[in-house]
Amino acid sequence: MFGKKNTKAWNQLESVYKHFKDTQMRDLFASDANRAEKYSLQLENMFVDYSKNRIDDEVMTSLFGLARERGVEEKIQDMFSGKKINKTENRAVLHIALRNRQDTPIYVDGRDVMPQINETLEKIKDFSEKVRLGRFLGYTGKKLTNIVNIGIGGSDLGPFMATEALRPYWAKDIKCYFISNIDGTSCAEVLNNIDPETTLFIVASKTFTTIETLTNAKTCRKWLVDALGEHAVSKHFVALSTNKEEVEKFGINPENMFQFWDFVGGRYSMWSAIGLIIAIAVGYKNFERMLEGANAMDRHFATADLEHNIPVILALIGIWYNNFYDIHRYGVIPYDQYLQYLPAYLQQLDMESNGKTVTLDGKYVDYATGPVLFGGAGTNVQHSFFQLLHQGSEIVPIDFIIPAISHNEIGNHHQILVANVLAQGEALMQGKTEEEAALEMQKAGKSEAEINRLKKFKSFSGNRPSTTIVLRKLDPYTLGMLVAMYEHKVYTQGVIWNINSFDQFGVELGKKLALNILPELEGTAFGVEHDSSTTGLINHIKRIRK
């Protein structure tokens, strides 16, 4: 059993923390001219500077000791070898196989999974090119230029984030839309903006029974049939599923059903057929480049020693804050408008993976696990929650992400953007003492009385951590690297916390209860017992809707 009190490395870290906790990063930089170089790593076109974190050599050595004690190196190899590391569901975890560009065999239950993966990738290539080149046409013979992805969770967040991130690579005549929310507005807003004759719907549901996805798909089907007739369905709908029977019942040609597998979880699935809309939007070659970028990070994660392993280092720094400083949150701030949906995607990746309180051996944890993640696009969020980051009572470690080269080099916009992200990291680390604030006001000609009144308000505690990730340019390859980096970071933390990062039972209870409540709202069932609040709300809403 793993617990924070019964491991040598954890106890060592608690001892290190006691004498290190009040150390100021200002002092660490002042005493070590090579600090930035020492705590930075480069992998191809990605540069990671983690020097603005509350760490030193002793801290990092102790963290690497924890990783080794928890068997991180062995657990990495377990994933890549196809072992069933998803213990609660008895499944292998092989999103890494989806981007295995070396095509080396990867076995599950003694069977190499690469042939079926390559077959599906070839099918994605063939179909996406047919749509882009106008060889797969709609029912009336028009080219399909409106591509609508209908999914939820991993079948939506991943492809939505990636498609928006790669918008500069879209075909000029293609428009992409996403429907995920069961709220009818999600459907209505898309359907009001597209033409049935030129629309292709991609229905993404492994079982083809997901209530949100199927409800939205049926609404879109009715809209299409009302406009073009029943026979149009097979020309305007394709499925990403494993349930051939239900797909055929819906009216979709089974030849246009794309397979994926139980060894790929939803939040890790955009590399599979779930990424079909990405391939259509940006072209299969660019989709393939995204896979290659992810594979480059996979190979780095699998082969680099812990001391030079980017995902492992980021994971350990997160452990340091979460479990020793009791900082249970972090922010991801991409300074790139195309990456504006990355934080929402990473919320699912991190919080659904590691939001667990039971260990792999069935014990309740006695330590914090997955943190709360939030974020948004800089510089917008500088004017929303950065006040708290700089002067609030809560410490929030930040990952800043910035491409050195913009897709839109307009005037000096990008220079200002870069200046802002670098300034934010410096300001969080340096802060401003009361004496520095007083001197600044003195130089501005403020009176002594005013200086004394305002110096506390204008001071910043500093010593607030951040990591800066510099990309050469946001392209398909770099996006693949970036996303895979966070996937492996999350897995490493799950290993250290001894939890299963690959199930998500926590999302199921609310869905089951919703199925009990729905008939009551529709007036087809009565007498189901709820707490008094839920019963009162059901009755109140029924009265309003009458």
CA distance 282 to 303: 31
Phi, psi angle pair for 150, to nearest 5°: -110, 110
Pairing type for strands 107-108 and 329-334 reads unpaired
Per-residue pLDDT, 523: 85
- Do residue 217 and residue 143 come from a single domain? yes
Whether residue 2 is predicted with pLDDT greater than 60 in this model: the reply is: no
CA distance 182 to 430: 46
Domain extent for 533: 509-545
- Do residue 37 and residue 166 come from a single domain? no
Domain limit, last residue, from 287, 322, 352: 287
Residue 75 placed within a domain: no
Residue 413 placed within a domain: no
CA distance 193 to 191: 5
- Do residue 494 and residue 525 come from a single domain? no
Per-residue pLDDT, 304: 98
Per-residue pLDDT, 4: 56
- Do residue 362 and residue 324 come from a single domain? yes
Percentage of the chain surpassing pLDDT 70?
A: 99
Helix (H, G, I), strand (E, B) or coil at 491: helix
Residue 210 placed within a domain: yes
Whether 128 and 284 have beta carbons less than 8 Å apart is answered as yes
Helix intervals (H) in 4-84: 8-20, 25-31, 35-38, 57-69, 72-80
Residue 371 is given by DSSP the state P
The per-residue pLDDT for range 262-297, each reduced to its tens digit, is: 899 999 999 999 999 999 999 999 999 999 999 999
CA distance 149 to 202: 5
Whether residue 164 is predicted with pLDDT greater than 50 in this model: the reply is: yes
The per-residue pLDDT for range 233-265, each reduced to its tens digit, is: 999 999 999 999 999 999 999 999 999 898 999
pLDDT band at 89 (very low <50, low <70, confident <90, very high): very high
Residue 146 placed within a domain: yes
Task: For residue 52, give Cα distances in angstroms to 373, 399, 420.
Answer: 19, 11, 16
- Do residue 172 and residue 114 come from a single domain? yes
Residue 257 placed within a domain: yes
Tell me which residue of 494, 534, 22 sits closest to 268, measured CA to CA.
494
Whether 151 and 286 have beta carbons less than 8 Å apart is answered as no
Whether 67 and 312 have beta carbons less than 8 Å apart is answered as yes
Q: Residue 362 region, left (φ>0) first, then alpha (ψ -120 to 50), else beta?
A: left
- Active site positions, annotated: 352, 383, 511
- Tell me what the mean pLDDT of segment 353-366 comes to: 96
Query: ∠ CA 127-135-121 to the nearest 5 degrees?
Result: 10
Per-residue pLDDT, 103: 85
Q: Helix 476-497 crosses helix 154-165 at what angle (to 10 degrees)?
A: 140
Residue 325 placed within a domain: yes
- Tell me what the mean pLDDT of segment 474-488 comes to: 98
Tell me, what CATH number does 268's domain have? Answer: 3.40.50.10490
- Do residue 117 and residue 213 come from a single domain? yes
- Do residue 114 and residue 203 come from a single domain? yes
Supply the pTM of this predicted model: 0.96
Per-residue pLDDT, 3: 55
Per-residue pLDDT, 290: 98
- Tell me what the mean pLDDT of segment 299-310 comes to: 98
Number of domains in the chain: 3
Burial of 328 (0-12, 13-18, 19+ CB in 10 A): middle
CA distance 224 to 237: 10
Average pLDDT value for the chain: 96
Phi, psi angle pair for 330, to nearest 5°: -155, 160
- Do residue 223 and residue 338 come from a single domain? no
Report helix, strand and coil shares of the chain as percent, to nearest 5. 55, 10, 35
Whether 472 and 401 have beta carbons less than 8 Å apart is answered as no
pLDDT band at 1 (very low <50, low <70, confident <90, very high): very low
- The residues that bridge with 329 in the sheet, in sequence order, are 372
- Do residue 539 and residue 488 come from a single domain? no
CA distance 359 to 281: 41
Count of beta carbons in the 10 Å neighbourhood of residue 366: 12
Burial of 468 (0-12, 13-18, 19+ CB in 10 A): buried
Task: For residue 267, give Cα distances in angstroms to 156, 207, 290, 375.
Answer: 9, 16, 16, 18
Q: What is the dihedral of CA 95, 98, 102, 107, to 10 degrees?
A: 70
Whether 278 and 160 have beta carbons less than 8 Å apart is answered as no
- Do residue 539 and residue 473 come from a single domain? no
Whether residue 196 is predicted with pLDDT greater than 90 in this model: the reply is: yes
Whether 139 and 197 have beta carbons less than 8 Å apart is answered as yes
The per-residue pLDDT for range 3-26, each reduced to its tens digit, is: 555 689 999 999 999 999 999 999
- Do residue 260 and residue 394 come from a single domain? no
CA distance 293 to 254: 31
Whether residue 451 is predicted with pLDDT greater than 50 in this model: the reply is: yes
Query: ∠ CA 128-134-136 to the nearest 5 degrees?
Result: 65
- Do residue 283 and residue 335 come from a single domain? no
Per-residue pLDDT, 33: 96
Q: Residue 502 region, left (φ>0) first, then alpha (ψ -120 to 50), else beta?
A: alpha
- Tell me what the mean pLDDT of segment 138-155 comes to: 97
Whether 420 and 489 have beta carbons less than 8 Å apart is answered as no
- Tell me what the mean pLDDT of segment 395-407 comes to: 98
Residue 334 placed within a domain: yes
At which residue do the structure tokens 């250290």 appear? 496
Residue 1 placed within a domain: no
pLDDT band at 82 (very low <50, low <70, confident <90, very high): very high
CA distance 261 to 201: 21
Whether 468 and 481 have beta carbons less than 8 Å apart is answered as no
pLDDT band at 528 (very low <50, low <70, confident <90, very high): confident
Per-residue pLDDT, 525: 79
pLDDT band at 119 (very low <50, low <70, confident <90, very high): very high
Phi, psi angle pair for 491, to nearest 5°: -60, -45
